[in-house]
């Protein structure tokens, strides 16, 4: 039995590499965030609370009227965020930026192998002395080019 076209297109979309990779990255990110949350609530918050003499930081609250503010849990979440942001920056963003800078430096260091013909604007080798497209004699590299002169027409 032949599948309807929309089902086939949906299956093709799901099976594309970037969608599958994105789904895997999302699941790994959630798992990583869970590990960081466990680290913060299980180790960092109690250490900060003990250093301040107040117990676990995540359990700290303040009462104002009938409202209870869970400021310790908020600070623990801020610490979670900072840890995740630092790990992502130092393990992914910073190395990627360094790699891109390295690639850009390699591109800039490599001299060009082609240039544009000043007469017909086609791409030709840098070492060419005559254009292979319009057959114009090319000026030396340090001389500005001017288009070839057209012969005068008689009869005017």
Domain assignment of residue 138, given as a range: 111-143
pTM of the model: 0.55
pLDDT of residue 152: 61
Residue 106 has what pLDDT? 84
Residue 31 lies in a domain: yes
Counted domains in the chain? 2
- Apex 125 CA angle, 150 and 101, nearest 5: 130
pLDDT (tens digit per residue) in 121-148? 999 998 899 999 999 999 887 665 555 5
Q: What is the CA radius of gyration of the chain?
A: 33
Residues 132 and 71 in one domain: no
91 and 121 belong to one structural domain: no
What gap in Å lies between CA 88 and CA 75, rounded to an integer?
A: 20
Query: In terms of domains, do 91 and 35 share one?
Result: yes
Residue 151 belongs to a domain = no
Say what the pLDDT of residue 151 is. Answer: 60
- Chain mean pLDDT for the chain: 85
What are the φ and ψ backbone dihedral angles of 68, each rounded to 5 degrees?
-110, 125
Averaged pLDDT for residues 23-27:
87
Q: How far apart are CA 99 and CA 105, in angstroms?
A: 10
pLDDT at 63: 93
The rounded percent of the chain whose pLDDT value lies above 90 is 34
Question: Residue 86: inside a domain, yes or no?
Answer: yes
In a domain, 38, yes or no: yes
Supply the pLDDT for residue 111: 83
Same domain, 57 and 124: no
Residues 103 and 119 in one domain: no
122 and 100, same domain (yes or no): no
Please indicate, yes or no, whether residues 23 and 97 belong to a single structural domain of this protein: yes
Residues 27 and 40 reside in one and the same domain: yes
Q: Are residues 76 and 136 in the same domain?
A: no
DSSP summary character for residue 137: B
43-52 pLDDT tens trace:
988 888 888 8
- The tens digit of pLDDT for each residue in 92-128 reads 889 989 999 998 888 877 788 899 999 999 999 988 9
Residue 154 lies in a domain: no
The verdict on 44 and 121 lying in the same domain is: no
């Amino acid at each position: 039995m032949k599948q309807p076209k929309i089902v086939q297109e949906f299956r093709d979309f799901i099976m594309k590499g970037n969608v599958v990779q994105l789904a895997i990255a999302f699941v790994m990110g959630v798992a990583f965030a869970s590990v960081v949350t466990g680290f913060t609530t299980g180790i960092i918050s109690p250490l900060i609370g003990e250093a301040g003499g107040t117990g676990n930081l995540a359990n700290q609250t303040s009462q104002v009227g009938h409202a209870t503010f869970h400021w310790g849990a908020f600070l623990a979440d801020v610490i979670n965020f900072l840890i995740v942001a630092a790990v992502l920056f130092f393990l992914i963003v910073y190395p990627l930026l360094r790699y891109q800078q390295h690639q850009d430096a390699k591109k800039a260091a490599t001299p060009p192998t082609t240039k544009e013909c000043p007469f017909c604007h086609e791409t030709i080798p840098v070492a060419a002395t005559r254009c292979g497209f319009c057959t114009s004699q090319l000026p030396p590299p340090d001389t500005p080019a001017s288009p070839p002169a057209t012969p005068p027409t008689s009869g005017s």
